[in-house]
Amino acid sequence: MHKSKNKSSRPATIADVARHAGVGAGTVSRVINGSKNVLDETRAHVMRSVKTLGYTPNIAAQSLAGGGLLRIAVLAGNPSSNYMSQFLLALLAHSYRRNCQILVQKFARAGSAAPTVETLLKNGVDGVILPPPLGDSQAIVDLLVQAGIPLVRVGTARPELEGLSVFIDNAAAMADATRYLLSLGHRQIGFVKGSAKQLDSAQRYEGFHKAMIQAGLEPNPGWIKLGNYTYQSGISAARSLLEAKKRPTAILASNDDMAAAVIAVAHRLNLDVPRDLTVAGFDDTPIATAIWPSLTTVRQPIAKMTRIGLDLIYEEIQMRRARKTLGPQQHCLKSRLIERDSSAVLG
């Protein structure tokens, strides 16, 4: 009785085909996606391995046969539910104009990078969009580049990495927000950092610290609290700041989720916002206008960045099919401070 060379009970993966054929996963991907940039001999060799192992591209083959529809994957690993909601809504609203199908892949651990990229290859995606913080990972970017998958990084804090990127200047934006609070007369300003694992968190704190130093003020170390971009982490940070014997007159949070949590804790402690405490956030996500008082915040143009990112990845995929490329492109968009009811002149 003849037995298949793939003795494993699991379906063959693109990595299995690559090992069997003695080529890279990127080469296998180009073969199954019909790229012309592969030697005929190599193509034939890879297809023999595909047949031997019983590898089935599944959706990849169907997508290729259809021709028009592009399959764009999003690797989601941002802890802020409000940021990701706005990002995904903008992406879905714009995707139909580009005839794109959006696939959302949850990405939780750094160690899952290789299996995740392998899954993307197996599913035949045409391109990948990386929202923060995954767009800041050199390891993930390298894996996608090696696999030959076009990618764009939206909201990245590392625009210098290879490929296409759309972003804002986090440090400059937070410096502007800090100077705004200083203009209101606040000198005792607390700060809630984002995740210690995210570069944009460090950049936002850098902007705050620089603006304070330029104003001749040294930030109080006891008023600098670490969060992780979630509402719950903002609750913990706010309690530490506001339940102390001496509290700041204003608090800047590195995103809106944590700023909203600061306002909630202030209400619980019978502090009036903004009479007793000014609060400001970052991003201008929907929660900024869903809470009371509405939140003063830095508007990061998330929807616009997302639309530009999708347009870039669409164009890059089309260019590659013509054996061309857009090449590295960095698009820095402007942010601006939105003044609402959570901030006031120090009385």
Whether the per-residue pLDDT at 167 is higher than 80: the answer is: yes
Every domain of the chain and the residues it spans: 14-56, 69-168+302-335, 170-300
Most confident of 10-19, 55-64, 156-165, 329-338: 329-338
Q: How confident is the model at residue 184 (pLDDT cuts 50, 70, 90)?
A: very high
Q: What is the pLDDT of residue 2?
A: 39
Residues 285 and 300: their CA atoms lie apart, in Å, by 8
Is residue 250 helix, strand or coil? Answer: strand
Query: Token pair of 264, please?
Result: 């909630």
| Nearest-angstrom CA–CA distance, 136 and 130 | 9
Say which residue the tokens 């894996």 belong to: 143
Classify 74 as helix, strand or coil.
strand
Of 3.40.50.2300, 3.40.640.10, 3.40.50.620, 3.40.47.10, the CATH number of 69-168+302-335 is: 3.40.50.2300
Question: What DSSP character marks residue 160?
Answer: T
Cα–Cα distance for residue pair 229/164, rounded to 1 Å: 25
Q: What is the C-alpha separation between 102 and 57, in angstroms, rounded?
A: 18
- CA–CA separation, 250 and 265 (whole Å): 14
The residue with greater pLDDT, 31 or 130, is 130
Note the CATH number of domain 14-56. Answer: 1.10.260.40
pLDDT digits (tens, 9 = 90+) for 33-85: 666 667 888 888 888 988 888 887 654 444 444 457 899 999 988 888 899 99
Architecture of domain 170-300: 3-Layer(aba) Sandwich (3.40)
User: Which residues, other chains included, contact 342 with Cβ-Cβ below 8 Å and sequence gap of 6+?
Assistant: 259, 263, 273, 274, 278, 279, 280, 293, 294, 295, 296
Tell me the per-residue pLDDT of 124-135, one tens digit each, with 9 for 90 and over.
899 999 999 999
C-beta separation of 255 from 87 below 8 A: no
Answer yes or no: same fold for 69-168+302-335 and 170-300.
yes
CA distance 141 to 147: 10
Predicted TM-score (pTM) of this structure: 0.80
What residues form DSSP beta bridges with 100?
A: 70
